[in-house]
């Protein structure tokens, strides 16, 4: 037997017991004739004491960091206790030891505060995984996994595996493809999600399905994306949107209870996509704090805000506002005393390429009732007050205003709001707010191809009273400039996203389940009948054999774990992640393959 106990197990009530432990040498401290060793395993650290009698044996077999060591000895109470570790009251007086395996000097220290940089730790991920900090993350991941499975099992969901080698039907992200040796010239694709399979399972009558499953998307990797990631993927039959929202609010609340012991998430707020976009500037608002966006354009338009000012504010010669497509503001509470240095720094912040604005206008709403701004030249104090009022500012607030093209300004103001929220401590790691964002547009305009693409995916149903609009209008966009006037731009979907602290953690929809409507949908997306049949004939066919109404959702498992673990990076919660270029630097993948493999596949490279 290699061990009688783990390194995290022994306490004072086991004093005098003879035990055998096995683990890795964390540290060796020699004090004259005695040596202390910290022995580590998955469960903790136990201090070992090698007394004088073992001195010669130790000298003959010196221990190094990360050696695999087995010892036998007696548990004794420590004279100087260590309250930081669970075994800190005891140590083992070693009577015999065996080095089970030596270790090369590790390239970084296996400690919470390691000296290893990211790249090195990824290259030696198997060592990084020994570190407590990483282990805690994997433990958290496992407890989220267990909690989800328990909840879904208790609610009659069945875990059913779906294939990884499927048909390539790119819509949205790019597929990873796999050549088929047995079918030369043909390729499988790795699933971007099990979407069509889970829908087919509904047709098959498995009315509650789930899977904690890998998905693959060959996207350009923005920060913190992985080419392979995990979803908690779910589907239900005979449900309406409300049923899904309730069931999966339940899932997330259960995870919070099981993993964080948090049960204050009583009510999950709901917000329409329109409101999210207008009030927060994005479709996944962080609602831990207010600071909503105010649309000031009306203030500067003819007729805008006349009551407040008694006169028009526009046309004062400040072109940035007069000519802007959009003017948006946030009122930052209690910051009217920002110094010039601070407002300059904020201006630089919005000018950074990631934000991309030309400048920032501020109005300080001083507590003595006066107003001071970076555009004093153009606006009287009355007008500044009118603008600040429209932004919802109170005395003591700092109004920050951005102007420019609609989309960019909205995005930038949203980013600025988040940044100010962070700086002012309003985005606390240990506070969680859940939100459903609903009523998404069904379509999105794809400028490059001048056509509509599905905002969620092509299987999402339109709101029942928007179906007619979809069926009765030609999808062709005559005038690209005016795509917003096309009736399709107003069609809303039966789709919903769950948002946690400003992150989309899940999304899904009620699906189309009639062949005719699904065909219309493919046509709306610019697919010819042949193309639709070629790509999705199996689904259209299945819809003819008694497809029940159904809908579902998928949660981003890695992201959910990282938020619960208070980390920005999903990589920290994946045992063997890839880097920003999609490489696994440990196993060195992707890599070239043998000429023989190409031969077998009958594939010739044509590198450009
Ligand atoms: N399959 C979808 C996705 O990956 C989620 C869903 O609609 O259930 O986004």
DSSP 116-142: --HHHHHHTHHHHTTSHHHHHHHHHHH
> Among the atoms of ligand 1, which is closest to the Cα of residue 553?
8
Mean residue pLDDT of the chain comes to: 93
pLDDT at residue 312, as a whole number: 43
| Same fold for the pair 134-262+555-597 and 289-423 | no
| Average pLDDT estimate for 562-571 | 92
Would you say the CB of residue 404 lies under 6 angstroms from ligand 1? no
Residue 70 CB partners (closer than 8 Å, separation 6+): 2, 3, 20, 21, 22, 97, 98, 100
List CB contacts of 146: < 8 A, sequence separation 6 or more.
258
For 281: left if phi > 0, alpha if psi spans -120 to 50, otherwise beta; the answer is left
Q: Residue 445 corresponds to which tokens in the numbers above?
A: 């305009």
% residues pLDDT > 70 (the chain): 97
* CATH class belonging to 12-101: mainly beta
**Residue 321 pLDDT > 90, yes or no?**
no
- Beta strands of 190-289 (E only): which ranges? 208-216, 228-237, 269-272
- The predicted model gives 153-172 an average pLDDT of 92
| Predicted TM-score (pTM) of this structure | 0.92
Beta strands in 183-298 (DSSP E): 187-189, 208-216, 228-237, 269-272, 294-295
Cα 552 to ligand 1 centroid, rounded to whole Å: 8
Q: Which pLDDT does position 324 carry in this prediction? A: 81
Question: 508 in ligand 1 pocket by Cβ < 6 Å?
Answer: yes
pLDDT of residue 300: 65
Q: In what order do the strands lie in the sheet with 208-216?
A: 158-159, 208-216, 228-237, 550-556, 503-510, 495-500, 434-438, 269-272
What pLDDT is stored for residue 301 in this prediction?
54
Say what angle helices 195-203 and 529-542 make with each other, to 10 degrees.
40
- Which atom of ligand 1 lies at the shortest distance from residue 460's CA? 7
152 band by pLDDT with thresholds 50, 70 and 90: very high
Give the position, in ligand 1's atom list, of the atom nearest the Cα of 194. 1
CA–CA separation, 493 and 110 (whole Å)? 50
What is the predicted pLDDT for the residue at 439?
97
* 191 C-beta closer than 6 A to ligand 1: no
Pairing of strands 34-41, 326-332: unpaired
- Candidates 173, 225, 507: which one to mutate for ligand 1, based on the most atoms within 8 Å of Cβ? 507
| HEC sequence for 354-422 | CCCCCCCEEEEECCCCCEEECCCCCCCHHHHHHHHHHCCCCCCCEEEEEEECHHHHHHHHHHHHHHHHH
**pLDDT (tens digit, 9 = 90+) per residue, 229-249?**
999 999 999 999 999 999 999
Confidence at 571, pLDDT banded by 50, 70, 90:
very high
Q: Specify whether the CB–CB gap between 332 and 397 falls below 8 A.
A: yes
Q: Which CATH class is domain 289-423?
A: alpha beta
Fold type of domain 134-262+555-597: BirA Bifunctional Protein; domain 2 (3.30.930)
Residue 233 alpha carbon, nearest atom of ligand 1: 8
Mean pLDDT of 95-118: 92
Cβ(506) – ligand 1 distance below 6 Å: no
Ligand 1 center to residue 507 CA distance, Å?
A: 6
pLDDT band at residue 375 under the 50/70/90 scheme: confident
Q: Is 552 in the pocket of ligand 1 (CB under 6 A)?
A: yes
Percent of the chain beyond pLDDT 90?
83
Pocket test for ligand 1, best of 166, 175, 195 (most atoms within 8 A of CB): 195
Distance (Å) from CA 220 to ligand 1 centroid: 19
Confidence of residue 297 (pLDDT cuts 50, 70, 90): confident
C-alpha 200 – ligand 1 centre gap (Å): 14
Question: Quick one: which atom of ligand 1 is closest to the CA of 552?
Answer: 8
**Nearest 10 degrees: Cα torsion 328, 334, 336, 338:** -100
Tell me which DSSP letter residue 580 carries. T
Q: Are 365 and 386 in contact (CB under 8 A)?
A: no
Which ligand 1 atom sits closest to the C-alpha of 508? 7
Distance 457 CA to ligand 1 centre (A): 8
Ligand 1: residue whose CA is nearest its atom 7: 508
Domain boundaries, the chain: 12-101, 134-262+555-597, 289-423, 441-492+514-544
386 CB near ligand 1 (under 6 Å): no
Is the distance from the beta carbon of residue 393 to the nearest atom of ligand 1 less than 6 Å? Answer: no
- Closest ligand 1 atom number to CA of residue 231: 4
State the Cα–Cα distance between residues 157 and 23, nearest whole angstrom: 40
Report which ligand 1 atom has the smallest distance to the Cα of 509.
7
Higher-confidence position of 13 and 172: 13
The residue ranking higher by pLDDT, 379 or 606, is 606
Task: Tell me the pLDDT band of 317, cut-offs 50, 70 and 90.
Answer: low
Q: How much distance in Å is there from the Cα of 261 to the middle of ligand 1?
A: 28
User: How sure is the predictor about 303, in pLDDT bands with cuts at 50, 70 and 90?
Assistant: very low
Which residues touch 534 (CB under 8 Å, ≥6 apart)? none
542 CA → ligand 1 middle, Å:
19
**CA–CA dist 440, 434 (Å, integer):** 17
pLDDT of residue 309: 41
Which atom from ligand 1 is nearest to the alpha carbon of 235?
Answer: 8
Q: 553: Cβ below 6 Å to ligand 1?
A: yes
CA 506–ligand 1 middle distance (angstroms): 8
Assess whether the C-beta atom of 510 lies below 6 angstroms from ligand 1.
no
Residues 403/452, Cβ–Cβ less than 8 Å: no
Ligand 1 neighbour 194 (Cβ under 6 A): no
* Each residue's pLDDT tens digit, 347-367: 999 999 999 999 999 999 999
Structure confidence at residue 266 (pLDDT): 72
Instruction: Check if 285 has its Cβ closer than 6 Å to any atom of ligand 1.
Output: no
pLDDT of residue 112: 84
Instruction: Provide the pairing of β-strand 495-500 with 503-510.
Output: antiparallel
In this prediction, residue 316 has a pLDDT band, given cuts at 50, 70 and 90, of low
Mutation test of ligand 1: which of 442, 496, 539, 554 has the most ligand atoms closer than 8 Å to its C-beta?
A: 554
Query: Is the CB of 509 within 6 Å of ligand 1?
Result: yes
């Amino acid at each position: 037997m290699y061990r009688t106990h783990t390194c995290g197990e022994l306490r004072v009530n086991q004093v005098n017991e003879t035990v055998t432990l096995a683990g890795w040498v964390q540290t060796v401290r020699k004090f004259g004739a005695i040596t202390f060793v910290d022995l580590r395993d998955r469960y903790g650290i136990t201090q070992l004491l090698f007394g004088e009698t073992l001195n010669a044996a130790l000298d003959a077999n010196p221990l190094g960091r990360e050696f695999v060591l087995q010892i036998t000895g007696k548990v004794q109470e420590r004279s100087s206790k260590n309250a930081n570790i669970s075994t800190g009251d005891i140590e083992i007086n070693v009577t015999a030891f065996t080095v089970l395996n030596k270790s090369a000097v590790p390239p970084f220290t296996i400690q919470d505060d390691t000296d290893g940089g990211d790249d090195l730790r990824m290259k030696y991920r198997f060592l990084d995984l020994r570190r407590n900090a990483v282990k805690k993350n994997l433990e958290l991941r496992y407890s989220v996994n267990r909690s989800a499975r328990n909840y879904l099992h208790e609610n009659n969901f069945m875990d059913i595996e779906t294939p990884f080698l499927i048909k390539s039907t790119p819509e949205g992200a790019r597929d990873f493809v796999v050549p088929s040796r047995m079918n030369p010239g043909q390729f499988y694709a790795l699933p971007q999600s099990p979407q069509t399979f889970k829908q087919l399972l509904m047709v098959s009558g498995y009315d509650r399905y789930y899977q904690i499953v890998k998905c693959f998307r060959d996207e350009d990797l923005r920060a913190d994306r992985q080419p392979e990631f995990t979803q908690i993927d779910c589907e239900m039959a005979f449900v309406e949107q409300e049923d899904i929202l309730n069931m999966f609010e339940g899932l997330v609340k259960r995870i919070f209870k099981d993993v964080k012991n948090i049960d204050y998430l009583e009510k999950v707020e709901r917000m329409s996509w329109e409101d999210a976009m207008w009030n927060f500037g994005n479709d996944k608002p962080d609602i831990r704090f207010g600071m909503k966006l105010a649309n000031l354009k009306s203030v500067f338009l003819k007729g805008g805000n006349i009551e407040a000012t008694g006169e028009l504010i526009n046309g004062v010669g400040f072109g940035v506002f007069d000519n802007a497509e959009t003017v948006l503001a946030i009122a930052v509470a209690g910051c009217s005393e920002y110094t010039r240095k601070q407002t300059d720094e904020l201006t630089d912040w919005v000018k950074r390429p990631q934000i991309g604005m030309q400048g920032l206008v501020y109005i300080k709403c001083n507590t003595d009732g006066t107003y001071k701004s970076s555009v004093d030249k153009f606006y009287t104090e009355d007008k500044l007050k009118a603008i600040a009022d429209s932004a919802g500012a109170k005395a003591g607030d700092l109004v920050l205003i951005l102007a420019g093209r609609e989309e960019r300004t909205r995005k930038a103001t949203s980013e600025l709001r988040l940044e100010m929220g962070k700086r002012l401590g309003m985005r606390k790691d240990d506070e969680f707010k859940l939100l459903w964002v609903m009523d998404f547009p069904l379509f999105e305009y794809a400028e490059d191809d001048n056509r509509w693409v599905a905002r969620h995916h092509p299987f999402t149903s339109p709101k029942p009273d928007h179906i007619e609009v979809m069926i009765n209008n030609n999808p062709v966009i005559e005038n690209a400039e005016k795509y917003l006037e096309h009736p399709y731009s107003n069609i809303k979907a039966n789709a919903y996203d769950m948002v946690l602290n400003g992150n989309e953690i899940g999304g899904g929809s009620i699906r189309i389940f009639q062949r005719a409507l699904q065909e219309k949908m493919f046509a709306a997306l610019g697919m010819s009948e042949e193309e639709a049949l070629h790509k999705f004939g199996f689904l259209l066919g299945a819809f003819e054999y008694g497809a029940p109404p159904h809908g579902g959702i998928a949660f981003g498992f890695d992201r959910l774990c990282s938020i619960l673990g208070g980390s920005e990076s999903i990589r920290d919660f994946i045992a063997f992640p890839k880097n920003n270029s999609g490489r696994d630097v440990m196993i060195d993948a992707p890599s070239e393959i043998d000429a023989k493999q190409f031969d077998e596949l009958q594939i010739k490279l044509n590198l450009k």
